């Protein structure tokens, strides 16, 4: 790694970046961020890498989820607690179905920068720079709000730190109520043909929790402590570079802005700045893989990012869409298998299944999402490889952004509570139901 430095990416072309007009301000922000304490630690990162290696071998399962784009306004106790709650519920349901430990990873505490398919947005004849996430500019449609400001990165770092502080506190002692029926509200599924099965799953989970407590003699607080990891797209390289450091008694550099950054679809160019930055950090990293990926490109990425073929280092998050998964995923898997590169396969059934309604609203269908997850599981079963996890855009609140599921949201409901700043998310009922259906299938296959 002799020719790598946290800033060596500057010599390459970085896709999806903004130009900050005030260089001096940018440097001041980067210096300040580099001086402040890190958000995560190297030992947490190494522990996660170990869990991901297990998931790649089929001994654990990864549940990754959260907002498409976190927003500064949503950095509130209700929103954070609700997200943690739904991820915890889903994870318990998946543990129950798969009998494998579940590694919980949020798209949280730093998911503040977004790639966009167009640089500009036009409304009523006015054209302004696209919104690129709260770390970069603001969603309001005025010139001032769309101007990129380096200070927003510092605000984002602070929001990430506040979010993480609350998550750590909740994960350590909170969620006392898992055994109580009120914690599990299944009213959305009353009329579903699966209602009885959902009730049985929750009953079994609650019983297992009290049984474990009784036989282990452990204090409830010990049982409640949960492990939780953070992830975000490592899109803004200024933000990532500023938080990349050496740590005592370990080799190499760690990106301490998050445990598990990923390279997005739009920034995975082999000769690009993102691959240059990511190749030098010790974190486990993920790569989003869409249907445009070729064999040469993918193997090039794996060689560049994991030359020592370390298990747990690379996750491939495929997001090809329900229409293409059956045809395309087997190709992806066979390229990687032939090259004998160890990877963890995670299915993102969201980003290949986005559509726009006749009213111009961006949405996704529950059935398409479920279809892609199930088809991916079938592909891996057939090929003798491991589907090691799932990746969802979701929220703990009952928004109306995706259609379908037992609560029956249809196109007409979307306007009722549509809040996302970028992509549509599963709401908490849809997310819990999705976990139930994946878990039921896992149980049948056990």
Task: Please tell me what DSSP assigns to residue 38.
Answer: P
Least CB distance from residue 266 to Co ion, whole Å?
11
Q: Which is nearer to Co ion, 68 or 205 (CB)?
A: 68
Least CB distance from residue 422 to Co ion, whole Å?
6
Least CB distance from residue 286 to ligand PEP, whole Å?
10
Residue 288 binds which of ligand PEP, Co ion, none (CB < 5-8 A, kind-dependent): ligand PEP
Residue 265 binds which of ligand PEP, Co ion, none (CB < 5-8 A, kind-dependent): ligand PEP
Residue 402 binds which of ligand PEP, Co ion, none (CB < 5-8 A, kind-dependent): none
> Which residues in 235-264 contact ligand PEP (CB under 6 A)?
264
Q: What would the x/- binding string for ligand PEP be over residues 369 to 408, using CB under 6 A? A: ----------------------------------------
Task: Please tell me what DSSP assigns to residue 141.
Answer: S
Tell me the two tokens of residue 332.
């992806």
Least CB distance from residue 66 to ligand PEP, whole Å?
10
Which of 85, 96, 238, 319 is close enough to bind ligand PEP by CB under 6 A?
319
Interaction between residue 265 and ligand PEP (CB under 6 A): yes
Residue 313 binds which of ligand PEP, Co ion, none (CB < 5-8 A, kind-dependent): none
Tell me the two tokens of residue 416.
């009722």
Least CB distance from residue 351 to Co ion, whole Å?
6
Tokens 């190297």, residue located: 42
Cβ–Cβ under 8 Å, residues 166 and 103: no
Residue 18 binds which of ligand PEP, Co ion, none (CB < 5-8 A, kind-dependent): none
Interaction between residue 399 and Co ion (CB under 5 A): no
Residue 264 binds which of ligand PEP, Co ion, none (CB < 5-8 A, kind-dependent): ligand PEP
**Number of shown-chain residues binding ligand PEP (CB under 6 A):** 8
Q: What is the dihedral of CA 168, 172, 173, 176, to 10 degrees?
A: 100
- Region of 20-28, 61-69, 196-204, 375-383 interacting with Co ion (CB under 5 A): 61-69
What is the spatial distance between Cα 357 and Cα 415, in angstroms, rounded to a whole number? 11
Q: What radius of gyration, in Å, describes the C-alpha atoms of the chain? A: 21
Tell me the two tokens of residue 27.
């440097």
Find the helix or strand (DSSP H, E) in which 430 lies.
helix 428-445
What is the spatial distance between Cα 184 and Cα 403, in angstroms, rounded to a whole number? 22
Find the helix or strand (DSSP H, E) in which 120 lies.
strand 120-123
Interaction between residue 133 and ligand PEP (CB under 6 A): no
What is the spatial distance between Cα 213 and Cα 219, in angstroms, rounded to a whole number? 7
Q: Which is nearer to ligand PEP, 94 or 347 (CB)?
A: 347
> Which residues in 423-442 contact Co ion (CB under 5 A)?
423
Residue 321 binds which of Co ion, ligand PEP, none (CB < 5-8 A, kind-dependent): none
> Which residues in 405-424 contact Co ion (CB under 5 A)?
423
Least CB distance from residue 313 to ligand PEP, whole Å?
19
Q: Which is nearer to Co ion, 336 or 370 (CB)?
A: 370
Interaction between residue 425 and ligand PEP (CB under 6 A): no
At 244, phi and psi to the nearest 5?
-100, 125
Which of 40, 55, 60, 68 is close enough to bind Co ion by CB under 5 A?
68
Among the residues of 346-413, which ranges form H helices?
A: 366-383
What is the spatial distance between Cα 180 and Cα 184, in angstroms, rounded to a whole number? 8
Among the residues of 59-194, which ranges form H helices?
A: 77-98, 143-146, 151-173
Interaction between residue 68 and ligand PEP (CB under 6 A): yes
Q: Which is nearer to ligand PEP, 261 or 280 (CB)?
A: 261
Q: What would the x/- binding string for ligand PEP be over residues 352 to 371, using CB under 6 A? A: --------------------
Interaction between residue 321 and ligand PEP (CB under 6 A): no
- Region of 42-50, 65-73, 166-174, 357-365 interacting with Co ion (CB under 5 A): 65-73
Cβ–Cβ under 8 Å, residues 371 and 365: no
**Beta-ladder partners of 29:** none
Cβ–Cβ under 8 Å, residues 314 and 285: yes
Count CB neighbours of 431 within 10 A: 24
State the helix-helix crossing angle for 151-173 and 23-35, rounded to 10 degrees. Answer: 20
Q: Which is nearer to ligand PEP, 65 or 388 (CB)?
A: 65
Q: Which is nearer to ligand PEP, 150 or 352 (CB)?
A: 352
Find the helix or strand (DSSP H, E) in which 206 lies.
helix 195-216
Closest by CA to 347, choosing from 115, 49, 62, 88, is: 62
What is the spatial distance between Cα 92 and Cα 73, in angstroms, rounded to a whole number? 29
Interaction between residue 63 and ligand PEP (CB under 6 A): no
Cβ–Cβ under 8 Å, residues 295 and 270: no
- Residues forming contacts to Co ion in the complex (CB under 5 A) are 68, 423
- Residues forming contacts to ligand PEP in the complex (CB under 6 A) are 68, 115, 264-266, 288, 319, 351
């Amino acid at each position: 790694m002799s020719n790598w430095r946290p800033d060596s990416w500057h010599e390459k072309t970085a896709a999806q970046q903004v130009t900050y007009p005030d260089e001096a301000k940018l440097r001041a922000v980067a210096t300040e961020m580099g001086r402040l304490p890190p958000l995560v630690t190297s030992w947490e990162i190494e522990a996660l890498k170990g869990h991901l290696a297990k998931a790649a071998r089929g001994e654990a399962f990864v549940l990754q989820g959260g907002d498409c784009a976190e927003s500064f306004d949503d950095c509130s106790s209700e929103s954070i607690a609700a997200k943690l709650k739904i991820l915890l519920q889903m994870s318990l349901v998946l543990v129950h179905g798969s009998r494998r430990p579940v590694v919980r990873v949020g798209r949280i505490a730093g998911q503040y920068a977004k790639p966009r398919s167009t640089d500009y947005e036009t409304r009523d004849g006015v054209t302004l720079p696209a919104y690129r996430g709260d770390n970069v500019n603001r969603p309001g449609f005025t010139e001032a709000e769309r101007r990129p400001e380096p200070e927003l990165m510092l605000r984002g770092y602070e929001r990430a730190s506040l979010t993480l502080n609350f998550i750590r506190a909740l994960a350590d002692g909170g969620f006392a109520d898992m055994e109580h029926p009120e914690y599990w509200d299944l009213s959305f599924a009353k009329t579903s043909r699966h209602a009885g099965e959902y009730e049985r799953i929750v009953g079994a989970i609650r019983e297992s929790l009290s049984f474990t407590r009784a036989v282990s003699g452990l204090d409830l607080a010990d049982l409640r402590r949960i492990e939780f990891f953070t992830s975000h797209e490592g899109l803004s390289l200024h933000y990532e570079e500023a938080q990349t450091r050496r740590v005592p008694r370990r080799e190499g550099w760690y990106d301490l802005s998050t445990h598990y950054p990923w390279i997005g679809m739009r920034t995975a160019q082999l000769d690009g700045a993102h691959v240059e930055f990511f190749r030098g950090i010790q974190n486990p990293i993920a790569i989003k893989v869409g249907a445009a990926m070729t064999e040469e490109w993918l193997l090039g990425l794996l060689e560049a990012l994991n030359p020592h073929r370390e298990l747990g280092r690379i996750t491939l998050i495929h997001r090809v869409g329900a229409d293409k998964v059956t045809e395309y995923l087997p190709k992806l898997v066979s390229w990687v298998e032939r090259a004998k590169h160890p990877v963890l396969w995670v299915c993102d059934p969201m980003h290949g299944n986005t559509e726009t309604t006749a009213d111009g609203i961006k949405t996704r269908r529950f059935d398409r999402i479920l279809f892609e997850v199930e088809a991916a599981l079938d592909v891996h079963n057939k090929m003798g490889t491991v589907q090691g996890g799932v990746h969802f855009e979701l929220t703990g609140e009952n928004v109306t952004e995706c259609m379908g599921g037992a609560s029956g949201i249809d196109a007409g409901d979307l306007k009722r509570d549509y809040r996302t700043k970028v992509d549509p998310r599963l709401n908490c009922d849809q997310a819990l139901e999705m976990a139930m259906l994946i878990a039921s299938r896992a149980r049948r296959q056990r």
